[in-house]
Structure 1
Amino acid sequence: MSPNILEPDISYIGDDDSEFFRTVHGRSLNALNSRYMLPVDQDEVKRSELHHRLLQFVFNGRNYIGPVKEALQFGQRRRVLDLGTGGGFWAISMADDFPRAEVIGIDLAPIQPRTVPPNCTFELCDLDQGSIPYPDSHFDFIHARSMHTGIHDYPRFLQEIGRLLRPGGLFLLVEPDLIPIADGKPATQHPHGTGPRGWFTLWETYRACLKIQGIDVTVPQRLAELLAEAGVFERIVLQDGNIPVGFWPDDPHLLTAGQLQWMDYELFLPALKPLFLSSGIAEAKVNRIIADAQQDLYYPSLSTSAQLHIVYGSKCL
């Protein structure tokens, strides 16, 4: 089967899936898209779960914000699509929450559990190439989180979401910002040479490597604008929020979020090594960049945080 062609009723879960993985600089990566350089190994599955738990916490124990329950709870069998499902935790949770809905999670690699609810399936597709292989107006709710770093034409990606949604269908997009925050100010507002330099340098390097690959790193802060420009969405609601990183908050609620984000980043930092090396950075420098960022993560000099951009709305009727 061609990597960018997928029959909607096919799932690779349970099959011999070794052909969908490759080893790059000691980490397991997907084989469908050679430009996507984040790993798809057990550490990444664990990180996917941490990120899912964090967002559940942000959404007050739910898997979504917006009028999703009203749209999925009643009526005919509803269809839900999770783009870039990762470890599949969101899709499984949604299938449990809405047993009458059909939930499909698609990703570059088959790293999802083999045992899932009967109304949940996982399929493979490279979302960065060609059309997403489902009919027009096929889904009632489409969800995507942390996708923009793997999408070279995000406006086209939004058009695909619009094509796949039925009129009035809902979407929820979550994109973390790539500019870190320290003591309430983004890195760009700290005088040069101040702040947690190792932490700032890692994120500067990450953004530079993504730009080399042709990724628009400004997508997260422009989500609402891009959705409006797409011309097919309405009732667009933007909810941004700062997530603490680490154990510095006094508030118990924020402390829990900070702990989850800290554990996410602890796995994320070494996961960047294949991308950095493949971008032409010498290994000694890559090791130093990651080690300096880890030093700032483990022994922070300032209170760091990360910004999440969350947008939901519906397709125009």
Structure 2
Amino acid sequence: MSGVRWAYALNQWDTNIDAFVRTREHERAFKTISISGFSGVEFTAVSFGAWEPFGSPAEIANLYGSLEGLRSFLAECALDAVSSYVYDPFVGFDVEMGRGPDPLDPDAVERIATTAVWFADAVHRLGGDALVVRPVGSAWQTGALSDEQIGTLARLWDEVGRRIAAHDVRLALHVDFLSALRLAEGIDRLLAATDPALVGLALDTAEFAIAGIDPVAFFRSHADRVRHIQLKNARHVVDEAEALTPHAEQFVRTEGGARRIERWFFEPTDEGGLIDFEAFAQAVADADYAGWIVVESDQSPHPAESAMVSGWYVQNVLRPIVEGSARLVEEKK
């Protein structure tokens, strides 16, 4: 049997500060994800108070009473688990909508680890097993990382990985297309500096492709470190010069940069884009990957439609590749 479980990211529903705050909206989203063929949902850790109902412990308690209450609600919507939480340390949880600690600050370990442990405990109690983290800031902020900075990051994430392992949760570093790790072989240097038993990688197909990294080739060469997969499509590449634009998060990612790109991310399909999803699915099968694959459609103007389109493609194209290869392996045994 394949060890792959399929989930869908909730982020595309939550695009406006007051558009996704009531339980009836949550029920519609969860049921849409379920009927589209997914068994889990991925949450984002954000500190916007009542406007981000799944982003902090307090708001989950306010709406659902407890994590157990939320899991019961998910089960009523025919979902098995929250597969994962996505946590960006730069988001502050001490003060609502505040600024969080910088992973490059050696004194930030305790604050980051404490927050990570809460979300890891939440993921475990909600049936999932992955904490996906943004390991460092953007390229324009730091330039290429020095060996000393890589060492600082390695010590931080080894410690976080060690602490959340006590909750049976795996740490997965998420490299976005503006990340400082895209420069000077930063991904490989950080992976080499961290303990493979404690620190893995979240491979986001679109983020890698936009950064000019072939996700299929990267997965094949780093399958032993991939702990989590996020699956989405992309149509445009951002080179290093564009990634180094001052305030690239706003100017490039949000506003589309000088090219005025309206949308960076798309549903996984075989109808164009930068990623060969069938080849990626085959690579996943060949590596005998076990873990969650989370489909995303960030920026989708029609969340329910995107979930159903993605679900059809997963069920009819990608899942048979992964599970078909898994059956062949079992038969050979």
More helix by share: 2
Q: TM-score, normalised by structure 2?
A: 0.30
Greater relative contact order (Cα < 8 A, sep 6+): 1
More strand by share: 1
Q: TM-score, normalised by structure 1?
A: 0.31
